[in-house]
Amino acid sequence: METSKESGASDLKSSLSKARKVMEKWCGTDPKKHAYPGAVVLVSKEGKVLMHEAFGFMRLGPDPVPMSADCVFDLASLTKVVATTSAALVLIDQGEIGLDDPLKYFAPCLNDHPLGHMKILHALTHTLGLADWMPLFKIGVQRDDIPSFMGSVKLTWPPGTRVQYSCPGFILLGWVIEKVCGMRLDEFTQKAVFEPLEMMDTMFLPLDRPIPERIQGRIVPTEPRSAALRGREIMDAFSNLADGASMPAGKPGGEHLSANWTPYDLIQEWNGRHIGEDIPCGVVHDENAAWLWGVAGNAGLFSTARDLAKLGEMYLNGGMYNGKQVLSSAAIRIARQDLTGHLPGNDRRGLGWQLAVPGGPLGDLAPSGSFGHTGFTGTVMWIDPTHEVVVVLLTNRLQFTRANQHILRVRRLLANAVFAEIAKA
């Protein structure tokens, strides 16, 4: 006999037709009226997958390639929470770092800079006062020079006084994590986070390592580099490296580059991961992360909807996944807290995560306590502890180029459609 709980789950699964309609309406090949050529959506409740569907095409062109549910996407800034925040929480659980640790403890070059007195907490909550973006690749910043470079820039706000979403802040945090754990961020997160969570299709794709065969053919391309000034500039930067035959192996990847790879190998790999020498496929879209050979605290991670749902389930289960304690329940608890509510503005942050607020990317109906994060490439995930729900939306909206901004509205519409049905269950 079907229980009322099982019946409710069955009804909810069928009622997610509203979310399906949102996805279908905005999926297509016309940039004027569509938000993306293709997408994958996953919705789970209480650990049960209610919806995991692919829409449209993973790649446009004369012979469009259909999207599949196991496609691998460039997560862009979802890297900040899935990889970098997770790594920081692991180190906190291990007693290696603390939220009150000042950055100067790890980077003595910041002793005389206001950043040096800021804490790990400020980096995780985007309250360092650093700008939202800066062109590391145009300046030629090497991996090992990240903290000294950050100490040379002018802060946009006094540190700790307001939320200023910052990619450079998370690049600096990624550097701190690497210094503490003694390995590159891709290696540490693979060992400490993705393997315990059985996220087998989640990884950075650094240029000094080949793309694993298991995901080849499933990677979704992003934006043509030629479509934006930053894209053209990063292509020029790599071209300039190719012209410099005497380029030292440590630039710009630093001491964490694989010893067996030469600068020539790296540049060849860069060139080979672009379709028609222009469209990234298997190399991170973000220009700064690309300059750092594909591994940075702000971007560079690739994953699937199913893998991201596993991370969400771990958050809903107090840090547990499949019988393994990946993070402590205490770390999960503080990561979800509102740690910036005392600051001006309406951007509420936990550790890495953005909390649901009216008018935010989680839509209008997200229950209090919900949290999530977005990515520039057209990615977003939400976690709702009240109803034990995880929502993952992955799109290839950048194939229409960044000029197409429909995704900003669509992700809220999808969230509303999902949460409206969840609330009725």
Query: Quick one: pLDDT at residue 1?
Result: 41
Mean pLDDT, range 19-23, rounded to an integer: 96
DSSP string, 159-215: TTSS----HHHHHHHHHHHHHHHTS-HHHHHIIIIITTTT-TT-EE--TTSPPPGGG
Average pLDDT over residues 185-201: 98
> Averaged over 65-74, what is the pLDDT?
98
- As a whole number of angstroms, the distance between CA 323 and CA 90 comes to 17
Specify the long-range contacts of residues 18-21, CB closer than 8 Å, at least 24 apart: 18/417, 18/420, 18/421, 19/43, 19/51, 19/414, 19/417, 19/418, 19/421, 20/51, 20/53, 21/417
Of 12-16, 100-104, 263-267, least confident by mean pLDDT is 12-16
Check whether 5 has a pLDDT greater than 90. no
How does DSSP classify residue 219? B
User: What per-residue confidence (pLDDT) applies to 240?
Assistant: 85
**pTM of the predicted structure, to 2 decimals:** 0.94
As a whole-number percent, the residues of the chain with pLDDT over 70 amount to 92
- Cβ pair 381, 393 in contact under 8 A: yes
- Domain boundaries, given as residue ranges, for the chain: 4-71+302-424, 79-194, 209-301
Confidence of residue 369 (pLDDT cuts 50, 70, 90): very high
pLDDT digits (tens, 9 = 90+) for 294-343: 999 999 999 999 999 999 999 999 999 999 999 999 999 999 999 999 99
pLDDT digits (tens, 9 = 90+) for 150-189: 999 889 989 999 999 999 999 999 999 999 999 999 999 9
Q: State the pLDDT at residue 215.
A: 98
Average pLDDT, rounded, for the chain: 92
Q: Could you say which architecture CATH assigns to the domain 79-194?
A: 3-Layer(aba) Sandwich (3.40)
The C-alpha atoms of residue 163 and residue 354 are separated, in whole angstroms, by 11
- Residue 72 CB neighbours (<10 A): 26
140: pLDDT strictly greater than 70? yes
Confidence band (pLDDT; 50, 70, 90) for 246? very low
Same fold, 4-71+302-424 and 79-194: yes
pLDDT of amino acid 248 = 40
Q: For residue 253, which of 153, 175, 198, 165 has the smallest C-alpha distance? A: 175
pLDDT at 247 over 50: no
What's the confidence (pLDDT) of residue 396?
98
For the chain, the first-to-last Cα distance in angstroms comes to: 20
In the predicted structure, residue 345 carries a pLDDT above the cut 50: yes
195-204, 250-259, 269-278, range with the lowest pLDDT: 250-259
pLDDT-based confidence at 255, cuts 50/70/90?
A: low
> Which residues lie across from 349 on neighbouring strands?
354
Architecture of domain 4-71+302-424: 3-Layer(aba) Sandwich (3.40)
Decide the pairing of beta strands 73-74 and 203-204: unpaired
- pLDDT band for 199, please (50, 70, 90 cuts): very high
- Report the C-alpha gap between 320 and 332 in whole angstroms: 10
Q: CB neighbours of 311 closer than 8 A, spacing ≥ 6?
A: 82, 86, 197, 199
Q: pLDDT by residue (tens digit) across 80-116?
A: 999 999 999 999 999 999 999 999 999 999 999 999 9
Say what the pLDDT of residue 89 is.
Answer: 98
Amino acid at 230: R
